[in-house]
Structure 1
Amino acid sequence: MEPSGDFELDTADRLRRSVGDLVRAVRDVTDAAPDNQIETLGYLMRGGPQSIAALARQRRIRHQSMSATVAELASRGLVERSADPSDARGVLIALTEAGSRVVTESREMRATLLLGVAEIALDEADLALLARVPTLLDRLTAALEAAVPAEDPGS
């Protein structure tokens, strides 16, 4: 498929960088917890209890690094370990109520910050355009996920 209108390779690269810069800027201003901890809590909030190996794959880090992150989160009472009912030797990591609150508060703080900055920096036409962006990004994400074969759980 050929690029249409003003959306070409340079624009696609600029979009990719801009989205990353925006995410980092919002995190830098709002999150008290390190990125690796907030990201891990977010995976647990979205996906439910998971093994350390599954969390490490999602974050694309070594098992040992994820074990250290989980240990820190557990020491703060944000996650808990439990036996994996499908694997007698396995352990699942789950959010505690406190961990859920941290994720919810972090998301609300980031959304509030973004709304406030958008209302200051953008005019009504820009805000209307920006309101459409999440749907467009969701469609791009779905297309990317459909284009990449799912990882084999046995690997």
Structure 2
Amino acid sequence: MPAAPRRPSSSSPRARRAVRIAGVAALVTGVVAAVLLTVYVGNRALVAKAALQSAQARLVTFRAELGQPGAPSSAALAVRLRHDAAKAAAQVDDPVWSAFETLPVLGPNLRAFRQTADLTDRLVRDGVVPVATAADGISVDSLRPKGDGSTSSR
């Protein structure tokens, strides 16, 4: 029976140590990457949340001041509202965010948050801004009849 060719011994202490070091380095790199990406997505979520809260406050102001005499320009209010909504949508439009949406526990919440930010941005862009631009300068007083209000016909 011919002798089997001799393979280099991979069980030498030096080889085992090198494999162990490579494994630990890969594990540490993976953990650090996961932590950094989680912090990155968390930061984007906080910025988007703040932008949506600011947009909500501006929308309340916009609704209260729309058509009131002496109110600021509704178009200017809508531009600031548009900025906040666009900022929130931009924060969640990210490939890392999309990757985190596939995670089992966290993913559905991130997906719902992204959909809310996108919907708010579309509503403001396609609904509020055109209405505000058209209504700019119109107030309740500007819709009242001019003159003394009498309608006598002789």
Q: Which has the larger radius of gyration?
A: 2
TM-score range, shorter chain: under 0.3
Structure having greater relative contact order (Cα 8 Å, sep ≥ 6): 2
Structure ranking higher in strand proportion: 1
State the TM-score, normalized to the length of structure 2. Answer: 0.24
State the TM-score, normalized to the length of structure 1. Answer: 0.24
